[in-house]
Structure formats: C-alpha cells, structure tokens
Amino acid sequence: MEELSNWVERRRELRVPVRRLAVIHAEGVPLHGTLENLSQSGALLNVASRPTSTSLDVELRLDGSGWVGAHTIRLEPASQRWRIAVAFDRVDPAMREAIDVTITAALSAARRRPILVIDDQFERRTSLIERLSGRGMTPLAPKTPLEAIDLLTRSQLHVSVCLLAPGFFGVPSNDLAAVLSDSFPWVTTTEISDDLDATTGRAIEAWAATPVAHIGAIG
C-alpha cells in the first residue's frame, strides 16, 4: 500500500512539458498565454504581463477547453514576459480527466521519442528513417510542408525535434526553420546532410536536450 501511495503522489506531482494555449482571468481581465508544463496539481504559464491578482480563474485549452481555479505560487520575469507557477484549487472531473490524458500523452512521447524528418529525397529519407528507428526513435516523415505543419500542430504527438533537408520542395531550409521557430518556438531544428550517421547523431543529441526527454519513468 505504501508503494502504491508513493506512486500516486509522484504521478500527481509529475510536471510534464506541455505547449497549449491558456487564458488567465483575474478581476475579469483576460490574459492570453501558453502552458509550459502541467501536473495534476498545478501548471507553469507564460504570459505577456503580470496578473494583478494572485487568485486566478484559468482556462486550459487541452483536448477541448476547461476551467480551473488556481492561485499563484511563483512569479518570474522571462524575456519581456512572465512565467507564473500556479497551484490548482478547483478542478472539475472533466478537466481532471483532460489533464490526465495530456500528461499520459507526454509520457508516451518520452518513450516514443518522435522526430520529424522533412526530406523529399526518397532514398536519403528512407535510410535516415531506418537509422533513427534503429536507435529507438520514432521518425515521422511528412510528404509536404503543409503535412509537416499539421504534424507539429498535433499537440498529443509532442514533436520537439525537426530534421530539415536543404530545399524541401523548393523551400530553403533556413526559411522553413524560421517559420517553425516563429510558430513552434519549442521545436529544435537541425539540417539533414548526406552524412546520415552524423545527421542521426545530431538528431539524437537534439532530442536528449528537450524537456520531454527529461521526463523520468514512473514505476
């Protein structure tokens, strides 16, 4: 029973990296921002300005939107924005389930280790996928830039690393990297070269540095 109790407590406090939209409502003023991490008992939010109250109603846009009551436990400036750590006071059953599903998806991604492979050269892409798979990664290979964006917007996949081929369907890799940086700032990009062993090594190093990779196993 003690082991089960410890497991439940670790599961409750485990914070996983989550990139979703959040809206803070304090004194009736909406403050839009993003989630940086999430647990069953609280979250870390990134917003443009400091809320005027420590007692907050927070809309979390997970798989569907829901509300939690929360209070601020830490404030810190972050590159002209604010990081706000909150503890949940009120969570309805539907929101609790959505939080649990989101945490489970992040844990699953930590085990799958997804990497986006953006390359329109079939043979090179196939060889790179084989190498990544052989190293325990899960390569995702979109066929078009739009499909790549679609995969990145699927928050449940938790894609944090993207390999870019030079000139993917005529789009220079630095241009595509700039688009990804603007729209998905948490995604690390690295370029595909003809040295596939080196490319594979860079991909694995990039993955190892991501917040999702740092999630410890629960057991």
Token duo for residue 49: 């300005």
User: Distance (Å, rounded) from C-alpha 175 to C-alpha 71?
Assistant: 41
Per-domain boundaries in the chain: 2-107, 113-214
Residue with tokens 């080196």: 198
Token duo for residue 192? 């595909």
Span 178-192, pLDDT tens digits: 777 778 888 888 989
pLDDT score for 219: 39
User: What per-residue confidence (pLDDT) applies to 114?
Assistant: 93
CATH architecture under which domain 2-107 falls: Beta Barrel (2.40)
3-state SS, residue 169: coil
Residue ranges of the chain with per-residue pLDDT less than 50: 1-11, 217-219
Q: What's the CATH number for 113-214?
A: 3.40.50.2300
For the stretch 75-103, pLDDT in tens is 998 888 999 999 999 999 999 999 998 88
